[in-house]
């Protein structure tokens, strides 16, 4: 199984930068995903990391350190529409192929 | 446009009744999943299927059943044996049976089930 931990809530102001951390413990790490979920809607895919380092995609970047079991999602130039829950999820190379394990999500509120 | 369709968006049932949630995808994905989401908790896996006519229990399968007779369809039945069925249910699919290889899950818009 997996043990995924991320903060429950974060707040920031419009135009600022925010970093959402995720730590995990896994028996067979096979990549880390970040999803965005607005209230009452489907999660949407943001990023995927399987190798160490930073992946940049527009205003969003995701970082992974496999040796530390650590990832973060960096959101720049925050906008009101970025207010959402951000879910960290890991894949498992072990016996439970074909599934992801999700953290509880970090609720981000962006203030004007 | 390709995607995953869940219906209905809202569903109300009386306690003791079975109810089936629909999930259809036209993305030609092999793998399909059912997750349950409760306030303050992460997505929890109920069942998943990697291929037609085959499916596996997830972490919270008790009180639920599924079928995978067609590649496009993966309905979930919430039975009267499920002790706390009120929740937001999300269906997902992926092109690769191992999402960890970089094939992200694509989610439907969810069904909010309320049982009274």
Residues A38-93: tens digit of each pLDDT: 988 999 999 999 899 999 989 999 999 999 999 999 999 999 999 999 999 987 76
A67 neighbors B67 (Cβ within 8 angstroms):
no
How close B66 comes to chain A (CA, Å)? 16
- Is the minimum CB–CB distance between A17 and chain B shorter than 8 Å? no
| CA distances, B23 to each of A7, B7, B59 (Å) | 31, 7, 20
Q: How confident is the model at residue A26 (pLDDT cuts 50, 70, 90)?
A: confident
Sites in chain B below the pLDDT cut of 50:
none
* Interchain CB distance below 8 Å, B42 and A87: yes
* Interchain CB distance below 8 Å, B110 and A42: yes
pLDDT in tens, B44-66: 999 999 889 999 999 899 999 99
CA A79/CA A89 separation, integer angstroms: 24
Does position A95 have pLDDT exceeding 70, yes or no? no
* Interchain CB distance below 8 Å, B101 and A105: no
Nearest CA in chain B to A5: B42
Which of A4, A43, A91 comes nearest B100 by C-beta?
A: A91
- Is the minimum CB–CB distance between B3 and chain A shorter than 8 Å? no
């Amino acid at each position: 199984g997996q043990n995924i931990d991320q903060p429950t809530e974060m707040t920031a102001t419009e135009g600022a930068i925010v970093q959402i951390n995720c730590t995990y413990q896994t028996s067979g790490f096979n990549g880390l995903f970040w999803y965005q979920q607005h209230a009452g809607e489907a999660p949407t895919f943001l990023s995927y990391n399987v190798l160490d380092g930073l992946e940049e995609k527009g205003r969003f970047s995701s970082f992974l350190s496999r040796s530390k079991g650590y990832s973060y999602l960096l959101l720049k130039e925050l906008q009101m529409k970025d207010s959402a829950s951000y879910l960290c999820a890991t894949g498992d190379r072990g016996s439970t192929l074909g599934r992801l394990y999700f953290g509880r999500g970090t609720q981000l509120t962006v203030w004007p | 446009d390709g995607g995953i369709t869940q219906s209905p968006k809202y569903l109300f049932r009386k306690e003791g009744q079975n109810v089936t949630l629909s999930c259809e995808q036209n993305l030609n994905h092999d793998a399909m999943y059912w997750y349950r989401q409760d306030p303050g908790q992460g997505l929890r896996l109920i069942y998943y299927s990697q291929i037609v006519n085959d499916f596996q229990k997830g972490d919270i399968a008790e009180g639920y059943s599924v079928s995978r007779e067609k590649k496009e369809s993966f309905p979930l039945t919430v039975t009267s044996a499920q002790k706390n069925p009120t929740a937001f249910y999300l269906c997902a699919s992926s092109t690769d049976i191992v999402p960890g290889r970089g094939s992200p899950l694509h989610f439907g818009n969810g069904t909010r089930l309320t049982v009274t």
